[in-house]
Structure 1
């Protein structure tokens, strides 16, 4: 794919944030699109956002469950960036009009106290670098019409990032059984989904090992102070205006958000 085409597609996706109509799947229009094309389209959008004064405050990992990987025909996750204005306060109202077609995913967010620079990062490095873990809700979104995405579509679209709500009950990593950490998701008071940390590559630690090593090959480090979302522990849940979502993490409290 020529760089001019990548630039055009990056501009298309970026325009949806400003209110343009979601675009048709990129993979339907460009059969020769590959993974390098997709990440370059993502990077071009990130470069634009940074030039506007926005900052990267973290990273997110998507497609960590085997079910989602089978659905999209892939064998590894993807990643995107979390910008400073992606973060919302706990129990706050979020304008549903700020998103295109939002869905939510519960995740145990990692807050790094040390840099992680791959390759050759292992679980011990992630444990040592993690300052805190907190309950969180990721708001995923898609600039691709009707969520008709394939792997390269979501990679190009910043891994379908939208926003994140961090809970206010931090725990040290040794206080949490990351694999067995359970969560119940309530939408408008009704139990909608349940899950556990093992849904993310067997453990959220494995997700972050994967991300640190993949980024390391591209010369990028996970920085101290950054928030890393390791992947959802349930399937994505569609939401609409008026919905209140609460995610109850066993032994860690809950985090909630209202779509106004």
Structure 2
């Protein structure tokens, strides 16, 4: 299958957009939206920016560990004013599951989403990449918290802004309980997300494109189309099961997902 690439006339804009996002990340100062460079509907150009930034990180020694699916929940799409899913790249240093605290100093405008993490036991390269094939490729799954972030000031994003900005990715935390898919059904999972003792978000697996496995199938096909298919051993974050919530420094959040248990994140104080 031929891979997709941006139109030639967008290449200089992609370079400028990548430079703007890199500067925002380096300076820890959000930047204006990049849609003035890419427009609001050139999805291929936005993924070209994401790939350019990914290539730079890999060249600097970063390790790709998987993907994140974004904008799968109608509630989150409504929050951000977009109408289709996207994906970003996960790197090894984004997994902060083993840390006592989430390092707030690495984040600009963080929000948290409760999700399902899938670990792949087989490549998703050939075939139809339909629901049955994707289900068979999943080795196990766990509860997860994705800590989304944006280099775009005030989360003023369109679909091209967020795709270029690696799907508005930040960090993530994985739960300790891992189950095979024959032990639970992802679309039936019930989720509750708490900030401290306050219930701040609720949702279900069905809120994630109707079924988190359907979201995974969408990602498998789309990632292959862009020449970066999913591989065995990679982790995929499903996308939100309910609305995202702000997580300023000092916040303690935890999510409860039926069958998969709980996952907790404590955000460090501002200057720690």
Query: Does TM, normalized by the shorter one, top 0.5?
Result: yes
**What is the deviation of 1:30?**
4.9
Cα distance in 2 for partners of 1:55, 1:124 equals 29
Indicate yes or no: 2:31 matched with 1:23.
Answer: yes
- Tell me what 2:159 maps to: 151
**The residue matched to 1:18 in structure 2 has which SS?**
helix
Cα distance in 2 for partners of 1:31, 1:106 equals 30
Q: 1:114 aligns with which of 94, 116, 122?
A: 122
- Tell me what 2:42 maps to: 34
**What is the deviation of 1:251?**
2.7
- Tell me what 1:52 maps to: 60
**What is the deviation of 1:128?**
0.8
**How does 1:71-86 map onto structure 2 within 5 Å?**
72-74=81-83, 76-86=84-94
Cα distance in 1 for partners of 2:200, 2:99 equals 19
- Number of aligned residue pairs: give it: 259
Cα distance in 1 for partners of 2:40, 2:179 equals 45
**The residue matched to 2:178 in structure 1 has which SS?**
coil
**What is the deviation of 1:189?**
1.9
CA RMSD across the alignment: 1.7
- Normalising by structure 1, we get a TM-score of 0.94
Cα displacement string for residues 182-222 of structure 1 (whole angstroms, at most 9, x for unaligned residues)? 11111112211111101110000000110111112222221
Q: 1:142 aligns with which of 131, 150, 153?
A: 150
**What is the deviation of 1:8?**
1.9
Q: 1:243 aligns with which of 243, 248, 251?
A: 251
Cα distance in 2 for partners of 1:91, 1:197 equals 27
Cα displacement string for residues 16-72 of structure 1 (whole angstroms, at most 9, x for unaligned residues)? 222342111112455476111111111110000000010110101111123444663
**The residue matched to 2:112 in structure 1 has which SS?**
strand
Q: Which runs of 5+ in 1 are unaligned?
A: none
Cα displacement string for residues 93-122 of structure 1 (whole angstroms, at most 9, x for unaligned residues)? 012121010000000100001111156201
Cα displacement string for residues 200-250 of structure 1 (whole angstroms, at most 9, x for unaligned residues)? 100000001101111122222211110001110011110111110111112
Cα distance in 2 for partners of 1:32, 1:154 equals 11
Alignment check: 8 A CA contact 1:111 1:131 kept: yes
**How does 1:8-19 map onto structure 2 within 5 Å?**
8-19=16-27
- Tell me what 1:162 maps to: 170
Cα distance in 1 for partners of 2:253, 2:169 equals 18
Cα distance in 1 for partners of 2:92, 2:220 equals 20
**Shift in CA distance, 210/34, structure 1 to aligned 2, threshold 3 Å:** same
Q: 1:97 aligns with which of 77, 86, 105?
A: 105
Alignment check: 8 A CA contact 1:118 1:212 kept: no
